[in-house]
Structure 1
Amino acid sequence: MDALLRFLLTEAPTPLPLGSVEDWWTRHLRLSSRFPLPVDVAFAGGFAADRLGYAFASGYHSALRSLVPELSPEHRYALCVTETGGGHPAAMQTRLTSASEGTLHLEGTKAFVTLGSAADVLLVVATEGQDAQGRNRLRLVRLDARRPGVMVTELSPTPFIPEVPHAELGLHEVVVAPEEVLPGDGYERYVKPFRTVEDCHIFAALLGWLLQVARRSGWPDEVREELLALAVTMRGLARADPASPAVQLALAGAIDLCRRRVDGLGTLWEQVDAPTRALWERDRLLLNVAGKVRAKRRETARQKLAQASRAGE
C-alpha cells in the first residue's frame, strides 16, 4: 500500500503523449514490473495515462489478471462473452466440442470484444452442451489470438474512448487443447464476477488518472486527499471476494462517492489544460456504462443480505 501511495503522491504528474494502443501497452508493461498486484497496476496505469481511454485499458487488463490470477502480465488479453443475443448464459451459442485425438474444436461468433484487435490471448466463453435443466454449461477457453480459424474484425470506434479498439470475433474449427480450458464453471467462476472485478479496477484507474490531473493542475489539497481516500477504499474492495453481497454493496457506495466527487469538481476543470479537458468531456460518458447492471447487482445484494439477516434472527 505504501509504495502505491508514494507513487500517486510523488511520481511526476506529467504523462508523455500516448499515440496508440502500442504506446499504452509499452508504458503499462513497464508499470506491471513495478507493482505485483493487478489493482496497483490499474492505479499506476491510470496515473500514467494522458487520457481516460488509456487509463481504462490499464484497468481492464488488470481486472482480467485479477479474475484469472494465472494470467501472465506480459500478454494482452480480451474477454470474449457478448454474442448477437447478448451476454446472458442462455445467449451463448459459441460451442466447444470434442474432436479427434483428444483435441477440442471451438466454433462461433462474438459480437463485441473490448481490446479484441489488440489482444495476444483471447478468453472465450463457450458452451459444451446443456445440463439436465436445459441450461448452457459454459467454459472459459484461453486461446492464442493468432491461431488458425480465429478471425478478428475491428469495429468502428465508439463515441467515447475511441482509442480503445473493439472487435468482432469469428471462430471456425479452432483447435483447442484440453489444458486450454480453464477450470471451473465458465459463468459462475468468470463471467458473473467480472462486472464487479472490472468496476473495481476501472474506477481504480479513473482515480489514478484524476490524481495525476489534480496534481499537475493545482487542485486544492482537500480534493486530492479525498481522491486518495477513495483510492484506498477501491483498492481494498478490489482485493475482496467479488461474489460477496456485502462487498457488492460497499462497491456500490464507493462508486456513488466517486461519481459525486467527480460531479463536484465543477470549475476546477478550468485549471486543466484545454486538450485534457476536451478529452474528458468526450470520454466521461464511460462512467455511465453498465448503470442498469450495477443497479440490479446492488438490489440483488440488498435482498440477499436482508434474507441472511432474517435467517439469523
Structure 2
Amino acid sequence: MESVFDYLLRAPLPGPLDSVPAAWDRHRLVAPRFAATVDVALAAGLGADRLGFAFLSGYQEALRALVPELPADELVAVCATEAGGAHPSAIATTLTERDGWTVDGTKSFATLGIMARRLLVIASIGAVDGRNRLRAALVDATRPEVTVMNLPATPFAPEIPHATVTFTGAPARVLPGDGYADYLKPFRTIEDVHVLAAALGWFVRVGREAEWPQWAMQRLLAAIALVRGLDIARPGSPGVHIAFGGAYEYFDQLRAELEPLWERADAVTRQRWERDRPLLATAGRVRALRLEAAWQSIAGAEAQGA
C-alpha cells in the first residue's frame, strides 16, 4: 500500500466539485486506497476543492472510526444535539423496547441530516439515581417515522447542510455499550482529529495548485505526521488529548506562517478560505476544556502517586 505522504504530493489533483453528492462520490473513490481512517481523510481532503467538502470527508471517516461496521457507501449523520444542547442531561429523545427498539424525540442540529441515509442517534433509556442513561442506535433515515427538515445555511461552509430530525416510533438497532462513554464523548475527539487531517490534506492541495515553496509543503507534511501519530484508538486518554493539543497548536502556528502565501492561490479559493476558516474554530472552546481536563487528570494521578 502506498505512502499517504507520497500520495499527497504526487496524486493528480481532480477538478472542481459542485455538490455534496459529487464530493461524496469522490471520497468513495479514494477511500479503498488506504486502510486507516485518518489516511482516508487526508487523501479525500486532497481531492476536495474547498474546506467544507474536506470537512465532509473528515466527518464521515470519524464516524467509521467510531463505528467500523457502517456501510462504506452511505452518508451518515450523528443525531445528538437537542434544544437544550448535547450534554447527557439535556437528551430527552428516548429509546424504548416494544417488540424491538424504537426512537422518539427531536434532534435540533444534525450535520448532513437532510442527505444522510443512516443516522447515529444518541437517546435516553431512562434515568437511574438521577443519571440519564444513554444508548446509541442506528436508524434508517428513509423510514416514514423519520422527518428531516433542512436548516438555513451557515455563514461558513454553506455547502454542508444541517437539519432538525424528528423520530416518531422509528425502528432502531441499538449498538453495544454506553451511549455517552462509548460514542458521544469519544466522537468529539475522533471527529476533531479526522477533520484536522482532512483540512491538512486540503491545504496540501492548495499549496500544490498555488506552487507554495518547499518549506511550506514540508511543514504541512510534518503537521500531518503529528496527526497520524495520535492514538485515536484511545480517544479518552489524557495523553492523547494533550498530544492533540500540541498538534493543533503547531497547526495554528503553521497557518499563521502560511498566511502570506494565500496571495498565490486563485481568487475563488482565497474567497472560500476567508469565508470558511471559522469552521476550524467551531469546537475550539470544547477542545480547550478537554485539554485542561486532561492536564488536571495527569496532575491528579501524579499527586496520588506522590
Calculate the TM-score normalised by the size of structure 1.
0.95
What one-letter code is carried by the residue in structure 1 that aligns with 2:104? E
- Is 1:143 matched with 2:116? no
Q: 1:36-63 CA deviation, whole Å, 9 max, x = no partner?
A: 2211110011100000000000000000
Cα distance in 1 for partners of 2:215, 2:305 equals 42
The corresponding residue for 1:125 is 122
- Is 1:305 matched with 2:301? no
**Correspondences of 1:72-83 after superposition (within 5 Å):** 72-83=71-82
Equivalent pair of 1:97/1:128 in contact (CA under 8 Å): yes
Cα distance in 2 for partners of 1:229, 1:157 equals 34
Q: 1:172-195 CA deviation, whole Å, 9 max, x = no partner?
A: 11123xxx1000000000001111
What do you get for the CA RMSD once the two structures are aligned? Answer: 1.2
Cα distance in 1 for partners of 2:121, 2:233 equals 25
Cα distance in 1 for partners of 2:53, 2:275 equals 14
- Is 1:217 matched with 2:216? no
The corresponding residue for 2:166 is 170
Shift of 1:240: 4.2
Q: 1:121-165 CA deviation, whole Å, 9 max, x = no partner?
A: 00001101011x211110001111111210011111000000001
The corresponding residue for 1:197 is 190
- Is 1:286 matched with 2:279? yes
Equivalent pair of 2:43/2:198 in contact (CA under 8 Å): yes
Cα distance in 2 for partners of 1:238, 1:62 equals 15
Equivalent pair of 2:139/2:171 in contact (CA under 8 Å): no
The corresponding residue for 1:48 is 47
Cα distance in 1 for partners of 2:132, 2:267 equals 50
Equivalent pair of 1:80/1:124 in contact (CA under 8 Å): yes
Cα distance in 1 for partners of 2:49, 2:208 equals 13
The corresponding residue for 1:19 is 18
The corresponding residue for 1:59 is 58
**2:243 aligned to which of 247, 250, 253:** 250
Cα distance in 2 for partners of 1:236, 1:170 equals 39
**1:107 aligned to which of 94, 104, 111:** 104
Q: 1:96-117 CA deviation, whole Å, 9 max, x = no partner?
A: 1122xx2122100000000111
Change (3 A) 1:238 1:227: farther
Equivalent pair of 1:128/1:138 in contact (CA under 8 Å): yes
What one-letter code is carried by the residue in structure 2 that aligns with 1:286? L
Count of residues paired in the alignment: 306
The corresponding residue for 1:271 is 264
Cα distance in 1 for partners of 2:167, 2:80 equals 13
Secondary structure, in 3 states, of the residue corresponding to 2:277? helix
Shift of 1:73: 1.5
Secondary structure, in 3 states, of the residue corresponding to 2:229? helix
Equivalent pair of 1:197/1:242 in contact (CA under 8 Å): yes
Q: 1:272-301 CA deviation, whole Å, 9 max, x = no partner?
A: 011101100000011110211111101100
Secondary structure, in 3 states, of the residue corresponding to 2:167? strand
Equivalent pair of 2:101/2:174 in contact (CA under 8 Å): no
Secondary structure, in 3 states, of the residue corresponding to 2:230? helix
Equivalent pair of 1:141/1:181 in contact (CA under 8 Å): yes
Shift of 1:27: 0.2
Equivalent pair of 1:49/1:209 in contact (CA under 8 Å): yes
Cα distance in 2 for partners of 1:119, 1:270 equals 37
Secondary structure, in 3 states, of the residue corresponding to 1:265? helix
Equivalent pair of 1:200/1:238 in contact (CA under 8 Å): no
Cα distance in 2 for partners of 1:265, 1:45 equals 22
Change (3 A) 1:306 1:245: same
The corresponding residue for 1:185 is 178
The corresponding residue for 2:83 is 84
Equivalent pair of 1:197/1:238 in contact (CA under 8 Å): no
What one-letter code is carried by the residue in structure 2 that aligns with 1:222? W
Shift of 1:238: 5.5
Cα distance in 2 for partners of 1:236, 1:75 equals 28
Secondary structure, in 3 states, of the residue corresponding to 1:17? coil
Equivalent pair of 1:123/1:140 in contact (CA under 8 Å): yes
Secondary structure, in 3 states, of the residue corresponding to 1:116? coil
